[in-house]
Amino acid sequence: MTGRVLVTGAGGYIGRHVLTALLDRGAEVIAADRRAAERPEGHFDPRATVVAVDVLDPGVDVYDVVGGFDTVVHLAWESGFVHSSPAHMLRLSDHYRFLTRLVTSGVRHVVGLGTMHEVGYYEGRLPEDAPTNPLSLYGVAKDALRRAMTLYAEQTAVVFQWLRCFYIYGDDSYNRSIFTYLSAAEAEGKTTFPFTSGTKQYDFIRVEDLASQIAAASLQTEITGVINCGSGVPVALGAQVEQYIEDNGFSITLEYGAYPDRPYDSPAIWADTTRIDAIMRAAAEPPETR
């Protein structure tokens, strides 16, 4: 399945890679970004149609501005790296209004970007149907949007997918992860980097691989609902960061225990990737065998 796809937050950390992944799979892609005019040359894949628009502005009919499309991949989210920001709750109704308005306009396929932080405290391999109990404003807002859109999709017979992401790294100059701060500290000539215990185990996935999963999931409608997007492999945070230091030839040393571990982080959590693995296998098959 390919078609005209709107990607919101297309100029963001994940969005740039999703654009390319969708285009590589033959989709016609419209990149919506409220800061499009401020982006440097070459920021967007040149094959995409770029539209400067604030999709959460209640006074803007995005469907009319863009000119119609089949699928929306909604990545736009304010303050995603600041889990305690009030913006998550204050903008929640804007996200719901935007998505439901698109359905009213004729869009029949809605894809939302979720996070493992919706789940809250959980130990082990996380299935999609695990109960959610978010412990941060970020997680609460994401989970609320997922629940609301699930109910709305059932009432309107729209295809709805919620892609639950885990821990993302790569292309670190564009994000605000620990890898970004570590690189900045190395560039400043610092010899040590304050760190947590490093013992928590997470599911790490490169942003390019995540984008490929998002694109493949968004261009099919057989598997819907919550879809975990991750590597399916638990790795200790300390081991992942030490590997990053080695791979980049850094001389900086981690100062373990300088910061406490976040109380809402699980000792070990990783994705059950059964559903996304099936999607990726199907996407890799020649068209004539599907």
Catalytic residue among 63, 138, 167, 202: 138
Q: What radius of gyration do the chain's Cα atoms show?
A: 19
CB 22 within 8 A of CB 86: no
Confirm whether 181 is a catalytic residue.
no
Cα→Cα distances 182→13, 80, 210, 232, 236, Å: 17, 19, 22, 25, 17
- Catalytic residue positions, numbered: 138
